[in-house]
Structure 1
Amino acid sequence: MGLFDFAANIGKKVFGIGDANAADQIKANIEANNPGVKELNVSLNDEICTLEGNCDSVEAKEKTILMAGNMKGVGSVNGEALSAPVPEVEPEVEYYVIESGDTLWGIAAKFLGNGSKYPEIFEANKEVIEDPDKIFVGQKIRIPK
């Protein structure tokens, strides 16, 4: 799980472009919604966010990367220095970038076969999506299988 690309011009705004303490603000936002990462270090250089730390699981690692990447001003995330235990069975996860007109209901219908399963997508992304009624174009989320 190396470099993930994101749309730097969209996302949750937690810092101003060029802020000296942008990495600290990204770190504070991740820790406030902690997906299961400890000893987190964040650096940001030219829209590339590099993360280091110890994750409780592969899922926690994925969520940490998504949380950093879904912030305005972050164009890609390098998560190679995030450690996570190797699972016995690699979880099947697909990533999806929200498009104009999308709803979690519609995404659930498309990927899970039934719109009423949208809480599964929300639960898999609750650290990334703070409110199921507030998703934004360009946001990258996990689709559990």
Structure 2
Amino acid sequence: MGLFSFIKNAGAKVFGIGKTDKEEEAEAAAAEVKMETLAARKLEQTARDLDLHVTGLNIFIDDDAATISGEAADQATREKIVLLVGNSEGIATVDDQMTVAEVAEVISEAQFHTVVSGDTLGKIAKQYYGNAMKYPEIFEANKPMLTDPDKIYPGQMLRIPSLD
């Protein structure tokens, strides 16, 4: 799918590291690499916990950029993994290098929407589908990352599936 941009400091906290003094730069750099590795493993575990099936899922984080590889079970799962990683605090870009397992049915790629202040799923549904009552389509497309249709936040990126 390509490279996605996210708002770096919006989303779930994964890193837990702050700014360091200059005299601690070398130590901080080593600690950052360790934290990035731990964050990547935590995201991989979260994907498994959310029952998102990706064979050989590998997430690599370098500073604020994440690279994802593996074979997703389907296009929707691929998009959900990108959003899971990109909607994590500290991640600004996601390089999606995943493939999708062969499927008989061709599913079109979803559109993506970055939530702004004042957005609701109904308002987003009205914008993309012309009908605010189609918000459950967006909610379902973003499960299991969304657990409540009223709990979205500015900077969060959502999948907007086509209504084929």
Cα separation, 1, equivalents of 2:155 and 2:129: 20
Runs of 5+ unmatched residues, structure 1: none
Note if 1:51 corresponds to 2:68.
yes
Percent of aligned pairs with the same residue?
41
Q: Is the partner of 1:101 in helix, strand or coil?
A: coil
Q: Which residue pairs with 2:20 in the alignment?
A: none
Q: How many residues align?
A: 144
Letter in 1 for 2:117: S
Q: Which residue pairs with 1:85 in the alignment?
A: 101
Post-superposition CA distance 1:45-101 (Å, at most 9, x none): 011111121111111111111110000011111111x12035654515211100001
Correspondence 1:84-103 to 2 at 5 A: 84-85=100-101, 89-103=106-120
Letter in 2 for 1:134: K
Q: CA deviation at 1:131?
A: 2.0
Greater share of residues in helix: 2
CA 15–46 in structure 1, closer or farther in 2 if over 3 Å, else same? closer
Q: Is the partner of 2:76 in helix, strand or coil?
A: helix
Q: Tell me the TM-score normalised to structure 2 length.
A: 0.80
Runs of 5+ unmatched residues, structure 2: 18-31
Q: Which residue pairs with 1:10 in the alignment?
A: 10
Cα separation, 2, equivalents of 1:14 and 1:130: 19
Identify the match of residue 24 of structure 1 among 1, 25, 41: 41
Q: Which residue pairs with 1:66 in the alignment?
A: 83
Q: Tell me the TM-score normalised to structure 1 length.
A: 0.89
Q: Is the partner of 1:135 in helix, strand or coil?
A: coil
CA RMSD of aligned residues (A): 1.7
Q: CA deviation at 1:7?
A: 0.7
Larger radius of gyration: 2
Letter in 1 for 2:134: K
Note if 1:142 corresponds to 2:159.
yes
Cα separation, 1, equivalents of 2:88 and 2:43: 8
